[in-house]
Amino acid sequence: MLLRAFAKINWSLDITGVRPDGYHLMDMVMQPVSLCDEIELTPAPDLSLFTDGNPPSRADETNLAWRAADLLRKTCGIREGVRIALHKSIPMGAGLGGGSADAAGVLFGLNRLWCLNLTREKLEELGLSLGADVPFCLHGGLVRTRGIGELLEDHPCGINYWLLIFQPCRALSTREIFEAYHASESVSRPDTENVLSALAAVDSERLSRSVGNVLESVSAARCPEIPEAVSALKNAGAFAARMTGSGSAVFGVFRSRALAEKARDLLSRQYRSIHLCHTQSDSIRVMEEDLP
C-alpha cells in the first residue's frame, strides 16, 4: 500500500490552560495542506522502518511511524509484521505535523492492510497516545481542535487557498517553546471565532486580521528569522502570513496560484526549500493498494 500523509497548518493556535497532569489545553484551527510524506507499507515477517528523502529522519523505535505500527500490533494482538518505507518531504521541527502525519498514515494504512476494521474514532483514540496532532491528522478537513487534541469539531471552508511554506531558521523543540511560553510575560492571542467565520465566508480581509498564534512571539524571541520571514511573505504579496504550530515554519496565503508563484520566485533569492502548496480536505490519501 502506498499512501500520502499530508502536513497541516495552524490558522490559529491558543493555549487555554494546563491540566493537573501537565498536558496543555489547546484551542486550534487546523487544516491539511498538499505538502506530504509518502509511506509504503509492505507485508513482512517483522516490523522494520526505512527512511529517505529530505529532511532525513531516524529509522528506529523513536520514529512515530514505527511507534504507530508497534502500538497497533500490540493493541490488536497482531503477529505479522510490516516493512515501512517513509519518504520524507515535510520539514521536521517545523510545526507542520510531519511526524504526526506519518503516524496517522501508518495507523490508517495498517488498519486496512491487516483487515482490522477499527473505526476512525478508535484510531484517533490510539493516535492521541502518540501525539496531540495525530487525531487531527487522521480526521482531516478544517477542524477546531480543543482539549489535548481529542476534541475535534468540523467547520466549513469556502475555498482552498494557495500557500508558500518554508522554514527560515533552525528546527525548534516543541517542549522548549512551551516551557518558554510559561515564562513569557505577555502574548498575543488569536481571534479564533473570526478565523472560522472568515474561512467559511471566504473573507480574506477578516482572515488576515484574525489569524494568530500564541506561540509565535515566544518562538520569534529564539529565532528572529521567523518575524523577518513573515514580513517578507507579506511584502511579496501574501494577504496573511503566520508561523504554524510551535515553529519554525511560516506560511503565506495568496489569492491565486499565479501570485504565489510570483512570490516564490522572488523569495527564492533569499530562502531555500520554499514549498508551493494549497489547503485541502484530505489528511491521508491511498495512492495504490497493491504494489507490484
Adjacent-strand bridge partners of 165: 251, 275
Q: How far does the chain reach from its first CA to its final CA, in angstroms?
A: 10
Q: Which of 52, 133, 191, 203 is catalytic?
A: 133
Decide: 9 and 244 in contact? Cβ < 8 Å: yes
Pairing mode of beta strands 284-288, 2-18: antiparallel
Euclidean distance between CA atoms 139 and 143, whole angstroms: 8
Please indicate whether residue 203 is annotated as part of the active site: no
What CA dihedral angle connects 23, 140, 165 and 266, to 10 degrees?
-160
Nearest-CA neighbor of 184 among 215, 225, 230?
Answer: 215
Q: Cis before residue 45, ω within 30 degrees of 0?
A: no
Please indicate whether residue 8 is annotated as part of the active site: yes
Q: Which of 8, 14, 27, 102 is catalytic?
A: 8
Return the biggest CA–CA distance within the chain.
Answer: 57
Q: Which amino acid is at 205?
A: E
The CA-CA-CA angle for residues 19, 25, 29, to 5°, reads 170
Catalytic residue annotation = 8, 133
